[in-house]
Structure 1
């Protein structure tokens, strides 16, 4: 569903990602892991169109989107949940969801219900301002908002950062359910090795902007991934 081929990208005169290839299969979860500064977020920002690539090619369901702007990629089915549990803090959780639903027309109301089915804890928090939610609740809200756009591919940047373990497990279960039951493809950037391998069918390790290891996901791969990351 999403192919990044020979991607070179950076900021100003500084190159950060050097010739990276990453493939996300249809209805699968792919994890990109690595230390801070490895180039993971830069790679994601290129994938969703927030950073122009210097060379390489990005395809979404077979269509070349390398030159497309972010909103054009969204229309083609790409959703992005950035790092930091982002939300409109002064709006309630319900208003955060409705804001996105209003932009997708008649399908919006049904998609809100579907997102809340995935994160039922949010139902009791709909009247609370998003800025007063816990980090885990805001992350669930951020993923729910992205789902309302009806994506075919979701890109998640560090969804477990600063979140309590119980909510981490809920988010992992939701990601797996979305790929296995809904056919959603997920590109996941994560430092939490256990979480990433528990959700992903395929993984890549990024170091200094280059892929240094890759393989099939699964908890049994944790020791080899940790060795590759020198953890």
Structure 2
């Protein structure tokens, strides 16, 4: 569903990602792991069009989208949830969702209900300003907002970072439920190796912007991944 092939990305004169290949299967999860500074977020920002690709190709459902702008990729079914539980803090949770739903026509209300079904705790918080929500609640809100666009591929950057364990479990369950229902693929950057490998059908480990290990997912790959991350 999403393919990054030989991707090189950088900032100014500095190269950060060097010839990376990642493939996200239709209806499945691909996990990208690695230490801070390995190039994971840079890779995701290139995938969604926020950074230009210096070389290589990004394909979405077989279409070359390497030169498309971010909003054009959104229209083709790519949604991005960056690090940091981002939201419009002065707006209520309901208003945060409505901002996206208003641009989705008749489907906006239905998708909002579906997103709230996935994170039912948000229903009781819709009138609260997003800035007053906990980190975990803001992360759920950010994912719900992305889902209202009706994506074919959901790109998640560290969705469980800095979140209380009870909400981490809810987010993990939601990610698995999304792909189990079919029709949605996920590209996941995640520090929790156990969750990432348990959820993913494919994985890649980055170190200094290069893939140092890759293969099929599964918790039995944990030793290999941890060894690669120790290099």
With structure 2 as the length reference, what TM-score do the two structures score?
Answer: 0.98
Find the aligned partners of 1:173 and 1:183 in 2 and give their Cα distance. 17
Match of 1:133 in 2: 133
Whole-Å separation in 2 of the counterparts to 1:57 and 1:221: 28
1:98 corresponds to: 98
Cα deviation, 1:139-185, whole Å, max 9, x if unaligned, reads: 00000000000000000001011001111111111111111113210
After TM superposition, give the deviation of residue 220 of structure 1 in Å. 2.1
Q: Within 5 A, what are the aligned runs for 1:107-122?
A: 107-122=107-122
Take 1:50 and 1:101, find their aligned partners in 2: how far apart are those partners? Answer: 22
Question: Within 1, Cα distance between the matches of 2:37 and 2:72?
Answer: 28
Matches within 5 A, 1:145-156: 145-156=145-156
Alignment of 1:122-201 (within 5 A): 122-201=122-201
Runs of 4+ in structure 1 deviating by more than 3 angstroms, as ranges, are: none
Q: What is the aligned residue count?
A: 231
CA–CA separation in structure 2 for the residues paired with 1:219 and 1:228: 15
Moved more, 79-88 or 187-196: 187-196
What is the Cα deviation at residue 202 of structure 1? 1.0
Mapped to 2, the partners of 1:215 and 1:226 lie a distance apart of 14
- Following superposition, the deviation at residue 221 of structure 1 comes to 1.8
CA distance in 2, matches of 1:20, 1:9: 9
Matches within 5 A, 1:1-231: 1-230=1-230
2-side partners of 1:119 and 1:108: how far apart? 17
C-alpha distance in 1 between matches for 2:190 and 2:97: 25
Output the CA distance in 1 between the equivalents of 2:223 and 2:185. Answer: 26
Alpha-carbon distance, 1:199 to partner:
1.6
113-122 or 177-186, which moves further after superposition?
Answer: 177-186
Matched residues in 2 for 1:213 and 1:67: separation? Answer: 28
The one-character-per-residue Cα deviations of 1:67-110 (angstroms, maximum 9, x if unpaired) are 00000000000000000000000011011001100011111000
Q: Which runs of 5+ in 1 are unaligned?
A: none
In 2, Cα distance between equivalents of 1:184 and 1:171: 16
